[in-house]
């Protein structure tokens, strides 16, 4: 009897209460495929072509997985992607029912420019546990590692949060590093961070990796803050469950019409969404494969007849982060 089963009292009790560990490997196959298919477009300035190739590859692999998946966080409406839209069913339909969040390339602009930190990402949780924030595209987020739990709060000024986290970590404020997307909307936020004496790590894109890197125990950054994609916030929350970190989010509608669409969908515009509001429970799996090199994983490499990929799997129930390095015969892909 494993830790993933309660006492068996009926045939239904034979169904695992937590995601089948084999599903994690199947999801890795899907993110690997998406990352590999995007390789011809890295640094070519064609982000739509890269995204389209990654979407097609991911969707093809997901269709073979024995589960009943519904995409809660997709990208079809947001990025004009050809597939993997919100509400689409994926998998064979056999097995347990899950909510799915996908981003075949988190960082299409990074991929097109050949810059670091582009990822292919899938996250999974039990059916009905993942917040559907698709009607509001952006979210203000605060992410830290375990030291920030019960210490920082997105409602506080950034300087206060930095000082509180520095004290919890036992390090000087001057040694704190905060990740922020490099956007005009963050000019004051960046200035306020630097005013405290802390440093910034400005990201051109890819705030999923930024959030995860801030929550890792061996991270070089201490906090990730600012307005990024709402889908990325949900995906990041799935990973934070495995890392024991802290995440909060507030929806950031761009205009009144979008705010009303969110309200009509049951979302709260003036509400702080905690980790369990974003993804309920700990029954989560997060999988990412590097497209380009980054602090979380290395990007795809082609050398000597092989294609090399590196992936991470974070499982909320067990609190583990596993790395998977794979060698693929190039002749099977190109």
Q: Is the pLDDT of residue 155 over 50?
A: yes
At residue 10 the predicted structure's pLDDT band, cuts being 50, 70 and 90, is: very low
The domain boundary, picked from 263, 278, 293, lies at: 278
Cβ distance 233 to 139 under 8 Å? Answer: yes
| Number of structural domains found in the chain | 2
Which CATH number goes with the domain that contains 184? 3.40.190.90
Q: Are both 155 and 209 inside the same structural domain?
A: yes
The domain boundary, picked from 278, 294, 314, lies at: 278
Q: Are both 268 and 162 inside the same structural domain?
A: yes
Which CATH number goes with the domain that contains 317? 3.30.540.10
The domain boundary, picked from 278, 304, 324, lies at: 278
**Binding-site residues for Mn(2+):** 51, 75, 103, 106, 232
Give the Cα separation of 109 and 247 in Å (integer): 25
Using only the alpha carbons of the chain, give its radius of gyration.
19
Q: Are both 196 and 328 inside the same structural domain?
A: no
Q: Are both 43 and 121 inside the same structural domain?
A: yes
> Which range marks the domain in which residue 210 is found?
138-278
Rounded average pLDDT over 49-68: 93
Looking at residue 219, its pLDDT comes to 83
Rounded average pLDDT over 23-44: 95
At residue 217 the predicted structure's pLDDT band, cuts being 50, 70 and 90, is: confident
Position with higher pLDDT, 10 vs 269 = 269
Cα–Cα distance list, 289 to 34, 175, 256, 294, 325 (Å): 9, 30, 37, 11, 10
Q: Are both 117 and 73 inside the same structural domain?
A: yes
Q: Are both 144 and 245 inside the same structural domain?
A: yes
**Binding-site residues for substrate:** 106-108, 138, 183-185, 205-207, 229
Cβ distance 89 to 118 under 8 Å? Answer: no
Q: Are both 254 and 288 inside the same structural domain?
A: no
Express each pLDDT in 87-116 by its tens digit.
889 999 998 999 999 999 999 999 999 999
Is residue 293 in a domain? yes
**Binding-site residues:** 51, 75, 103, 106-108, 138, 183-185, 205-207, 229, 232
| Residue 279: φ, ψ to 5° | -145, 110
Average pLDDT, the chain: 90
Q: Is the pLDDT of residue 203 over 80?
A: yes
Q: Are both 271 and 321 inside the same structural domain?
A: no
């Amino acid at each position: 009897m494993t830790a993933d089963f309660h006492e068996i009292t009926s045939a239904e009790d034979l169904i695992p209460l937590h995601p089948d560990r084999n599903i994690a490997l199947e999801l890795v196959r899907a993110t690997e495929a998406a990352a590999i298919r995007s390789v011809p477009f890295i640094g070519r300035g064609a982000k739509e072509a890269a995204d389209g190739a990654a979407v097609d590859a991911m969707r093809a692999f997901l269709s073979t997985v024995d589960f009943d998946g519904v995409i809660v966080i997709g990208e079809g409406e947001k990025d004009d992607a050809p597939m993997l839209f919100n509400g689409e069913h994926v998998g064979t339909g056999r097995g347990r029912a899950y909510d799915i969040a996908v981003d075949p390339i988190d960082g299409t602009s990074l991929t097109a420019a050949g810059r670091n930190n582009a990822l292919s990402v899938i996250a999974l949780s039990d059916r009905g546990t993942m917040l559907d924030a698709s009607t509001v595209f952006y979210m203000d987020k605060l992410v830290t590692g375990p030291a920030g739990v019960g210490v920082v709060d997105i409602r506080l000024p950034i300087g206060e949060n930095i000082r509180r986290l520095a004290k919890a970590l036992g390090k000087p404020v001057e040694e704190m590093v905060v990740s922020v997307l490099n956007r005009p909307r963050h000019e004051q936020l960046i200035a306020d961070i630097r005013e405290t004496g802390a440093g910034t790590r400005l990201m051109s894109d890819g705030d999923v990796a930024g959030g995860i890197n801030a929550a890792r125990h061996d991270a070089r950054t201490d906090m990730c803050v600012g307005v990024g994609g709402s889908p990325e916030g949900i995906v990041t929350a799935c990973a934070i469950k495995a890392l024991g970190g802290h995440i909060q989010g507030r929806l950031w509608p761009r205009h009144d019409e979008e705010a009303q669409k969110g309200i009509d969908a049951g979302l709260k515009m003036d509400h702080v969404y905690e980790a369990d509001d974003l993804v309920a429970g700990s029954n989560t799996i997060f999988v990412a494969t590097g497209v380009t090199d980054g602090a979380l994983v290395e990007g795809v490499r082609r050398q000597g007849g092989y294609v090399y990929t590196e992936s991470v799997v974070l499982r909320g129930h067990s609190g583990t982060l596993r790395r998977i390095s794979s060698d693929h015969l190039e002749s099977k892909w190109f």
